[in-house]
Structure 1
Amino acid sequence: MKSLDRCILHACRLHTLSVQSRSFASTSELRKNIKCDLLVVGGGAGGCAMAAKFASKLGKNKVVIVEPKDVHYYQPMFTLIGGGMKTLADSARSMASVLPSKAQWVKDEVAQFSPKLNSVTTKNGDTIEYNFMLVAVGLQLNYDKVKGLEDALAKDPRVCSNFSPQYVDKTFKALQNFQGGPAIFTFPNTPVKCAGAPQKVMYITEEFLRKVGKRDVSDIKYCTSLGVIFGVKKYAAALLELCKKRGIEVNLRQNLIKVKHETSEAVFEYLDKPGETITLKYSLLHATPPMSAPDVLSKCSDLTDKAGYLDVNKTNLQHVKFPNVFGIGDCTNVPTSKTAAAVAGQCGVIKKHLAAVMAGKPLPSAEYDGYTSCPLVTGYSSCILAEFDYDGQPLETFPFNQGKERWSTFFMKKAIMPDLYWHGMLNGYWEGPKIFRKILHFGMGK
């Protein structure tokens, strides 16, 4: 894994050198006290997209982006990497190549938020003062919250996880080496990136085992902390029927708390029976880690709710206490699934509201309706394209039933959405499919 990471980083650095038109200031070249019109904290999907929208509007170096990583990953591709359909390198670009050229990149991370002072302090000790701030720090993966999981991921080739570039390559190797027995897939007792992802890998695994003639000696179990297989009834019904057809056991309200790789055991707590646990043997274990807002955000009580997420108005993503602060994506407390599609849906609304606040104008009427999408990959050539709003009501783009498995939606997921992400969303152009939904539904769609 270390050698692969070095190869990816080397490739990304070469790509960075090829982007001749871009001249980012390194942290060492910056003053210790930096001032900007707009501070964007985080260089993920939301941070890149919004920085791109405002960098050209405000002028060179008026937007500052704080992001410590060299590599930007298209994380929705990790499901396909785990199934052997893509490689980790396919999902990677150098951070320098995706950040807008007119923005100033501070290659560092925020160590402290001080919203009352309109400033942040970086890990290297710099102070950045802002007029406006967009928080886009994503989610933190807490593998350490499951006892023994990090050790198992390091030592047991049968334990894998699609959620980190550090571990995603283990998944397909585990599938190839699997000889039969219990294969367990988990969903933790926290919000996660893309609520469908923990079971997508399971459906891919099930089809893979059928293809290689090992399905008859395999026992596939989905152990989820949730009370339902999926939060939207229409798609939950389709997924339950799919599990029934494929012989997949679904165990609700079970939460992974311990992995004992020496004895091939996974320990789950019964969430509806406090103190009671069940220990299951595994021959393959795909673990979805507990997740949370990053510690640096959650420890700033001025900015967050009781759960540690950025406390924003769910219709315009403006902070409830600080009108010059907005949030986007997974780190916010908006009650919708945490996906790249949700970020796209939020971009247009934030752009209008943030621009109005910057100009001292009344807030526009544009509202975020909670739109998100989860392409539920169900194998090597099929997908259920779930799209829905805050109320859990389907908000489908196409004029056909998206609750059915289709090759066409799988093709979109595998071949079209990555290009839309790299060339549309990160450049600030893609704000979700709302306009296409209206067209395809003859103006009657939401």
Structure 2
Amino acid sequence: MALLRKSFTQCISNRGLDRVLSQIRLNSSYEIVIAGGGSGGISVGARLSNALGSGKVAIIEPSDDHYYQPIWTLVGAGVKPMSSSRKAMKDVIPSKATWIKDSVAKLNPDEKSVTLSNGDTISYKYLVVAMGIQLHFDRIKGLPEAFETPGVCSNYSAATVGKTLKALKNFKEGNAIFTFPNTPIKCAGAPQKIMYLADEFFRKQGNRDKAHIYFNSAGAAIFAVKKYAEALNKIVASRDITANYGLNLVEVKPDKKQAIFAKMSNPEEKETFDYEMLHITPPMAAPAPIRDSPLSNEAGFVNVDSKTLQHTKYPEVFALGDCSSLPTSKTAAAVACQNKILATNLLSYRENQPRSATYDGYTSCPLITSSKTCIMAEFDYDLNPLETFPVNQAKERRTMYHVKATGLPIVYWNMMLKGRWGGPKFYRKLLHLGMSK
């Protein structure tokens, strides 16, 4: 026994505890492997591990921190502290799930395995892909270096969200430009939310009359859902904001404080804007291990059935959230519904039962229009409003702001991540006396 203890001690000192633990789990197998520890991975992991018990579910996630990213709009405007968006990953990993603190290097659906960045292989019976979406600041010439210069910021990254408030405070006069790229993005309303907060910030500073605010979007409209777009267009007009559509940011020249946009109608044709403040929403794409795997569709996202969230080719694979092919907005509210549906259908498939839970594309985008008001956009796959409250949610309301700023974070941390929140459908029916979907 003494010899064994000595050998083990030498092993730890020579290789390090992390290496020893890595060897212990080498080629290990779990019934369910979840790739990703964001909102989708943690919430569905909680449901599945609660249902199956300890040791059956593993979550692969390299990060030490877990962020509630929807609050970063308010963090960037100085309304909320950054600390309100963060918890340690160890505190949100479900207690009955195994945390594999590493990143996914390769997805091998034909072998029913996942290769980690350290070379280890994890086998599974069922796989849930919840790897989110990847930011690509590097696809814009001049970035990310331009973030080291005054006025350039982005609420989309923990590393850059703090620069937004600094840019707002340092703004004196000139152009404040807010961009929207030509790719799918998470929280499609966020690029304009910070714009409305900037408008309010400048008014409070007394220099709004010296600011020219531009919303330069590669898209064709302010918002995809007609009801909310009509309301937002009125807000843009009333606040003297210029919306330019069909413009995609392709280059930043920080030495000249210029932003170069390509026209979507003719990418060879460019338009240059001077800026004093430039808030960038970067191009985004599914992570490379997904794009390079047989699981992806032509656009690079995990190809799943839009109703059941089950892969169209590999029935033991499911996906949810930003990395999936689901044709709805990529928001935490969408994940809230998807995690319950996915868990229900995966467990049904495991028991050779029909996949009866269906997803209607419900998502929500709380469109903050000031530090006191919000338009609560809720809609389905067909871009039809699917509103929870029995009021016109296209109207700016203080109550909806408090739902967004205070209520939803509480639901997220205390219910959704613990597998106890599957979206507002029950409350929507209750508030509409059973007359809603």
* TM-score, normalized by the shorter chain, greater than 0.5: yes
Is residue 301 of structure 2 the alignment partner of residue 277 of structure 1? Answer: no
SS of equivalent residue, structure 2 residue 371:
coil
**SS at structure 1 position matched to 2:402:** helix
Provide structure 2 residue ranges, at least 5 long, that are not aligned to the other structure.
Answer: 1-17
Which of 117, 125, 128 is matched with 1:131 structurally?
Answer: 125
Match of 1:205 in 2: 198
Give me the whole-angstrom Cα distance separating, in 2, the residues matched to 1:291 and 1:247.
29
Q: Quote the Cα distance in structure 2 between the aligned partners of 1:26 and 1:138.
A: 30
In the superposition, the TM-score normalised over structure 1's length comes to 0.93
Residue of structure 2 in register with 1:326 after alignment: 318
What residue number does 2:86 align with? 92
Q: 1:102 aligns with which of 96, 100, 107?
A: 96
Quote the Cα distance in structure 2 between the aligned partners of 1:86 and 1:25: 40
Which shifted more, 51-60 or 120-129? 51-60
Query: Which of 401, 412, 416 lines up with 1:425 in the alignment?
Result: 416
- The 8 Å contact of residues 437 and 445 in structure 1, kept in 2 or not, is answered as yes
Deviations 1:161-204 (A, max 9, x none): 00000000000111011001100000000011111000000000
CA RMSD of aligned residues (A): 1.3
- The answer on 1:255 being equivalent to 2:237 is no
Match in the other structure for 2:75: 81
The answer for unaligned runs of 5 or more in structure 1 is: 1-23
1:59 Cα shift?
1.9
1:375 pairs with 2:366:
yes
1:438 aligned to which of 418, 429, 433: 429
Give aligned pairs, total.
Answer: 420
What is the alpha-carbon distance in structure 2 between the residues aligned to residue 28 and residue 205 of structure 1? 48
**Structure 2 counterpart of 1:316:** 308
Aligned partner of 1:268 in structure 2 is 261
Bigger radius of gyration: 2
Identity of paired residues, percent?
Answer: 49
Separation of aligned partners in 2, 1:192 and 1:36: 32
2:22 is matched with 28
Q: In 2, distance between residues paired with 1:411 and 1:51?
A: 29
Distance 1:440 1:315 in 2: 25
Structure 1 residue 30: Cα displacement:
3.5
Shift of 1:145: 0.2
Would you identify which runs of 4 or more consecutive aligned residues in structure 1 move more than 4 Å? 24-27
The alpha-carbon deviation at position 274 of structure 1 amounts to 3.4
Q: Secondary structure at the match of 1:164?
A: coil
1:116 aligns with 2:110: yes
Asked if 1 retains the 8 angstrom alpha-carbon contact of 2:175 and 2:214, the reply is yes
Q: Does 1:394 align with 2:388?
A: no
Query: Would you say the 8 A contact 2:47–2:340 is kept in 1?
Result: no
1:341-380 equivalences under 5 Å are 341-364=333-356, 366-380=357-371
CA positional deviation for 1:26:
9.1
Q: TM-score, normalised by structure 2?
A: 0.95
2:341 and 2:397 map into 1 onto residues whose CA distance is 31
SS of the aligned residue for 1:274 comes to strand
Q: Distance in 2 between matches of 1:357 and 1:57?
A: 14
Counterpart CA distance in 1 for 2:137 and 2:131 is 18
Cα distance in 2 between the residues matched to 1:361 and 1:384: 41
Partner of 1:8: none
Match of 1:144 in 2: 138
Separation in 2 of the partners of 1:132 and 1:285?
44
